[in-house]
Amino acid sequence: MMDISLVKLVEELNLKNLTPDVDMNEVRISVPDINRPALQLTGYYEHFASERVQIIGTVEFTYLQHLSEEDRVQSFEEFVSKDIPCVIFTTNMIPEEKLLRLCRKYQVPTFGTDRKTSSFMAEIIRWLNVKLAPTISIHGVLVDVFGEGVLIMGESGIGKSEAALELIKRGHRLVSDDVVEISKVSDITLVGTAPNITRHFIELRGIGIIDVKTLYGVESVKDTQSIDLVIKLEEWDKEKEYDRLGLEEEYIQFLGNKVVCHSLPIRPGRNLAIIVETAAVNHRQKKMGYNAAQELYRRVQQNLSKKRED
């Protein structure tokens, strides 16, 4: 199971630590969701998601303020005693010292933020979904071509890195060479990135390792990119029939998500960079509602209909 340190969450979201004497170095977050404990503060603990980050917004805070001091302390103590990872107070609300003492007593890290509850919830859920997303590593090259994330796959030595280098020289951006880490951030979105150790490097057989960022500038590289299209390079096989119209899309699956995939036969004389550029633009055009293959098919059918009428 993926998890992330609470320390990283605090640093990323710039949270104010209200209990600096509580050690949070060993606290790990493993669930990309949050919980607002409105029902729990009233005493209902059935189905309590205690493993989630707990967020106390205006509703929960004002409810506690309306309780008597004795009931407030009792309600809050029952809540923080449930082995929760942390508590975050939003909208610049600071709990009274008695409640903070309870957090220290049960070793619950407690934080504050001046952000509104709704926008803060959206941000923390987005960040946790990215950091805790299921991840796999595959052999390939990921390039940003006209804003489309193109994953180039194929056997070792077939020309993936060379194609990526030509695309970089044509103004596109490298995300990762050789190894691509793919994360499933939602049911429809896959995001690719490079391992830290190989980021911005390309291996060219016969030359060695080159630093793309140093040679071509910061505009030639990108840290992350959604994967919109997969191109599989393969040796030309004259016995095999290749799709020449593109009426039906082929797909490949990563982590349960489907991505459009084109098989591209390789033989001397083919300009891979231009073909990849064209594939990316054509894919973008399809997403905008225009399919050239379907338009050609429509014209052919229309022409046949006219001939029958004549």
Render 242-269 in DSSP notation, one character per residue.
--SS--S--EEEETTEEEEEEEEEE-TT
Q: Are 55 and 36 in contact (CB under 8 A)?
A: yes
Could you tell me if residue 309 is inside a domain? no
Domain count of the fold of the chain: 2
- Statement to judge: residues 159 and 237 lie in one domain: yes
| Binding-site residue ranges for Mg(2+) | 161, 203
Residue 178 among the catalytic residues = yes
23: CATH: 3.40.1390.20
- Statement to judge: residues 12 and 125 lie in one domain: yes
- Statement to judge: residues 112 and 140 lie in one domain: no
Mean pLDDT of 52-64: 95
Residue 139 among the catalytic residues = yes
Looking at residue 150, its pLDDT comes to: 95
Judged on CB neighbours under 10 Å (0-12, 13-18, 19+), 91 is middle
pLDDT digits (tens, 9 = 90+) for 108-128: 999 999 999 999 999 999 999
pLDDT of 206 over the 90 cut: no
- Statement to judge: residues 140 and 125 lie in one domain: no
Residue 244 among the catalytic residues = yes
Could you tell me if residue 303 is inside a domain? no
Domain that holds residue 60: 4-131
- What are the angstrom distances between the C-alpha of 39 and each of 13, 31, 43, 251? 26, 20, 7, 45
Could you tell me if residue 220 is inside a domain? yes
Token couple for 168: 């970089």
Residue 114 among the catalytic residues = no
Could you tell me if residue 310 is inside a domain? no
Distance CA(262)–CA(275), nearest Å, equals 11
Could you tell me if residue 164 is inside a domain? yes
210: CATH: 3.40.50.300
Selected catalytic residue, list 131, 160, 184, 262: 160
H or E segment to which residue 280 belongs: helix 272-287
Looking at residue 297, its pLDDT comes to: 79
- Statement to judge: residues 193 and 109 lie in one domain: no
pLDDT of 7 over the 90 cut: yes
Residue in this structure with the two tokens 């699956």, named with its chain if needed: 253
Selected catalytic residue, list 105, 139, 170, 258: 139
Lowest mean pLDDT among 15-24, 118-127, 237-246: 237-246
- Statement to judge: residues 107 and 27 lie in one domain: yes
- Statement to judge: residues 244 and 274 lie in one domain: yes
* Residue that finishes a domain, picked among 74, 105, 131: 131
Looking at residue 173, its pLDDT comes to: 95
Looking at residue 89, its pLDDT comes to: 97
Selected catalytic residue, list 104, 178, 213, 284: 178
Selected catalytic residue, list 47, 238, 244, 306: 244
- Statement to judge: residues 118 and 45 lie in one domain: yes
- Statement to judge: residues 147 and 281 lie in one domain: yes
Looking at residue 130, its pLDDT comes to: 85
Distance CA(232)–CA(224), nearest Å, equals 21
Looking at residue 60, its pLDDT comes to: 95
- Statement to judge: residues 37 and 159 lie in one domain: no
Could you tell me if residue 306 is inside a domain? no
| Binding-site residue ranges for ATP | 154-161
pTM, 2 dp: 0.75
- Statement to judge: residues 95 and 173 lie in one domain: no
pLDDT of 246 over the 90 cut: no
* Residue that finishes a domain, picked among 131, 159, 190: 131
- Statement to judge: residues 158 and 268 lie in one domain: yes
Closest of 145, 156, 166, 173 to residue 281, by C-alpha: 145
Looking at residue 300, its pLDDT comes to: 84
| Binding-site residue ranges | 154-161, 203
- Percentage of residues in the chain having pLDDT higher than 90: 68
Token couple for 201: 């490097």
pLDDT band at residue 305 under the 50/70/90 scheme: confident
Could you tell me if residue 77 is inside a domain? yes
Could you tell me if residue 305 is inside a domain? no
Lowest mean pLDDT among 91-95, 239-243, 250-254: 239-243
